[in-house]
Amino acid sequence: MRVLYVYCHPLADSFHSAIRGEALAGLAEAGHTVDLLDLYAEGFDPVLSVQGRRDYHDPVRNRRNNEAYMARLMAANALIVQFPTWSFGPPAMLKGWFDRMFGPGIALDLSDPGHARPMLQHIERITGIATYGRPRWQAIGMADPPRKIIKRYLPWFTGGKARVRYYALYHMNVATAEKRSRFLARLRREMSRF
């Protein structure tokens, strides 16, 4: 498969870097072609400008404004999104990427505003990899927005056809080295079966 791996963490020496390393190793073992999109390293600008917002509902201009990142999404048939959960949501950097890529002319057809149509039917698989500083019961109490983004929101754009998986390490701030190691091993194993 052609995998677009969207990575969102600012620190090169973070636990997320170790997660990414294991996930990429597993995908390589499985023989997938991976396009690593490191939002921070590539200097992605998550801010929607005034003109970008004016152009948002014009599919031609919206595509043109987001051409480089859109081309990478269109070239993939699988999407993996890895991120930390901050304030019970994805980082602003990743939210900005979602806002840009899942808009008119890219991920949905709004030519009939009353009947939006998904445009990412070529995406066959979606996987989310997330960490949380708080325990799962607190994330559930907040309705776990990151899980819903990955498991409900993104699949809509594929016409509901994409197979979806979500891997989360909850309460990471107090996770033991053993728990972290098990999470890394599980991710590598799952990615090698991707």
Domain membership of residue 21 as a residue range: 2-192
CATH number at residue 36: 3.40.50.360
Of 192, 181, 187, 143, residue with least CA distance to 166: 187
- Give the pLDDT confidence of 75-121 residue by residue, as tens digits: 999 999 999 999 999 999 999 999 999 999 999 999 998 999 999 99
Q: Report the candidate in 123, 38, 124, 108 with the shortest Cα–Cα distance to residue 73.
A: 123
Q: What does the alpha-carbon distance between residue 155 and residue 3 come to, in Å, rounded to a whole number?
A: 15
d(CA 130, CA 8): 10
Per the structure, how many domains does the chain have?
1
**pTM score of the predicted model:** 0.96
Q: Is 30 helix (H, G, I), strand (E, B) or coil?
A: coil
Q: What is the rounded distance in angstroms from the CA atom of residue 81 to the CA atom of residue 192?
A: 16
pLDDT confidence tier of residue 3, bands split at 50, 70 and 90? very high
Which residue shows structure tokens 């194993």? 189
pLDDT of residue 113: 87
pLDDT tens string 4-58: 999 999 999 999 999 999 999 999 999 999 999 999 999 999 999 999 999 999 9
